[in-house]
Structure 1
């Protein structure tokens, strides 16, 4: 169920918030600027920004990389980066960081998960989620940014054997990983001060979003991962990635609260009864794959939950919800507003 837009007053406030809540250099809104009454305006501003599918880079001139640098790679290696003139991120969230740092004009290709507007015209170097070493090397990158999930391993080895520095990062699965990953990307590209500025901006935005959580509101939210065409029906638990977002938005992860200690567990009526979510959170394509809210409530056990009975379903675009990048504060703004509505 999509939450309708608020009043024209809220939308007017949203426009005013766009430069404060979503933009800026090391600034952005501070926690002191937020209040529970501003949650709808912040959410409307965030929705407007996400609908544009564009990024908001740091203010000012793009940073100039100071190289060479030697950094630790998550595959146990130390990697020396001498040239950041042709950057190739093999992860959508990492690409968002590179562009937001102001280095987008140096990016020469993209992973399939880099779906934001600035990256769309770049050549894609992955098929499904597998990296093509030949496609990567044809773009003559001077540095490649990957993560431990990037593969196949043979392709990464082939890129490295060709003399291209490959910096491997840990996957981002919780809110705290956003700043860690930003710091590591900025250091690898020789722009550590820009990384600090971006982390400061995101920290301010997150604080403002969280300050808008209504006092005393603590709904239980279940994250459901579904792909109806493949008969995949899972409920998130500890480590799903969504649990950190749900908690940051002032709610309780229903799966985690029900004792689900794995990231994902097949949905059963019994598991849903234990979880008793007040709100269901899903990716947009996942919700569409089961026929929207009407189809969702027909899945055994869903209709018997408080969320199912009230049809309280929140969905967000797949590439943004768990992207854990510079747009994550916008996700929290929207969740704070939607999951606390009654």
Structure 2
């Protein structure tokens, strides 16, 4: 039988290692901020991270960001506004972002859902919550900072904050340059732009402040002709005349939502505006114009050029 090991024979480095091994469980938590509660919180947060391996994306800009981050391999579904890039259209469609079908979402067995703010309806969200499917909402504001925050929020949810930081820096540099070029135009030369959402029933539905249309008009160096109210509202004939739009801006549409230039400018009140006199109308892809995603810098440049022609002060 071996004699007990003589502690006195331990070399100094062995003794130090033994003391550290015994004391670490007590010393480490005390050395960390918040002690053991900090450790428990960190572990709990790690355990609560949702599984994003089978992801449904709701909102065109959210889907664009996921592709721009190179994380599209997680996607198993998207909403009907997610039309860019073209590869996204090959994914199962779970419906319009504000009219999601719970059956359509649950049917593709997602591990998580990421959606832009305003997605719904509430009844569908309640069903998804009961189904225990993690649902992450990404805040939406229609300005430069809102785009960058959206990119970072998506990156954080997917667990790739470093990728998101790189993308945000690239988008920021491009967008700042585009906006700076547009801002060179003197205030006195800026045109008034009327964004028309729809003309159903002969009523002109226009955009006010706090809207994607209002935001992109401002970034592009123009004036929102109906910036005296918030949201989207139907205009009276008097309000259209008072708005004095130099240019009408609309989404490119087809089918029953489409209207020809002739029919549009035949509207009794709109026919009295400078826009009608000059037949000044711009139509753009809805997602590209109003998405407020990674491509917004190109939207600013295209819209500015469409409104004014090439800006002589723009950087080459």
Corresponding residue number in structure 1 for 2:221: 250
Q: Which residue of 1 aligns with 2:198?
A: 226
Residues 256-271 of structure 1: pairs in structure 2 closer than 5 A? 256=227, 260-271=228-239
- Regions of 4+ moved over 6 Å: none
Please give the residue correspondences for 1:137-156 in structure 2 after superposition, counting only pairs within 5 Å: 137-156=106-125
Displacement after TM superposition at 1:300 (Å) = 1.6
Aligned to 2:288: 320
| Unpaired segments ≥5 residues, structure 2 | 1-41, 311-316
Distance 1:195 1:180, change over 3 A: same
How far apart are the structure 2 equivalents of 1:120 and 1:68? 38
Secondary structure of the residue that 1:235 maps to in structure 2?
A: strand
Cross-structure match for 1:238: 209
1-structure distance, mates of 2:133, 2:81: 22
Q: Secondary structure at the match of 1:212?
A: helix
Give the SS at the match of 1:266.
Answer: strand
Partner of 1:157: 126
1:215 equivalenced with 2:211 (yes/no)? no
Q: Alpha carbons of 1:70 and 1:340: their partners in 2 closer, same or farther (altered >3 Å)? A: farther
Per-residue deviation at 1:112?
Answer: 1.1
Can you give the 5+ residue segments of structure 1 that lack an aligned partner in the other structure? 1-66, 72-78
8 A Cα contact 1:226 1:286, kept in partner: no
Report the CA distance between 1:193 and its aligned residue: 1.4
Q: Which residue of 1 aligns with 2:306?
A: 338
Select the structure that is richer in helix.
Answer: 2
- CA separation of 1:188 and 1:296: change in aligned 2, threshold 3 A: same
**SS across alignment from 1:114:** coil
Structural mapping, 1:281-320, within 5 Å: 281-285=249-253, 289=257, 291-320=259-288
Query: Where do 1:1-342 residues align within 5 Å?
Result: 80-116=48-84, 117-126=86-95, 129-213=98-182, 215-216=185-186, 217-228=189-200, 231-256=202-227, 260-285=228-253, 289=257, 291-341=259-309
TM-score using structure 2 length: 0.76
**Equivalent-residue separation in structure 2 for 1:287 and 1:113 (angstroms):** 17
- Is the contact made by 1:227 and 1:286 (CA closer than 8 Å) also made in structure 2? no
8 Å contact from structure 1 (residues 290, 296) kept in 2:
no
| 69 and 87 in structure 1: CA distance in 2 versus 1, 3 angstrom threshold | farther
Conserved 8 A contact 2:111-2:133: yes
Give the superposition deviation at 1:321. 1.6
Shift of 1:264: 2.2
Deviations 1:255-289, CA, capped at 9 Å, x for gaps: 11xxx222223223311222111111111118984
Aligned residues: 265
1:321–1:328 contact (8 Å) kept in structure 2: yes
Distance 1:319 1:193 in 2: 26
Question: For each residue in 1:240-264, what CA deviation from the matched residue of structure 2 results, as whole angstroms up to 9, or x when unmatched?
Answer: 32111111111111111xxx22222
Residue in structure 2 matched with residue 30 of structure 1 by the alignment: none
Whole-Å separation in 2 of the counterparts to 1:208 and 1:150? 31
Distance 1:286 1:322 in 2: 17
Q: Give the superposition deviation at 1:139.
A: 2.1
Residues 108-148 of structure 1 show CA distances to partners (whole Å, capped at 9, x for unaligned) of 00111111211111111126842222332232222211234
**For the residues of structure 1 that align with 2:101 and 2:179, how far apart are their CA atoms?**
41
TM-score, normalisation: structure 1: 0.70
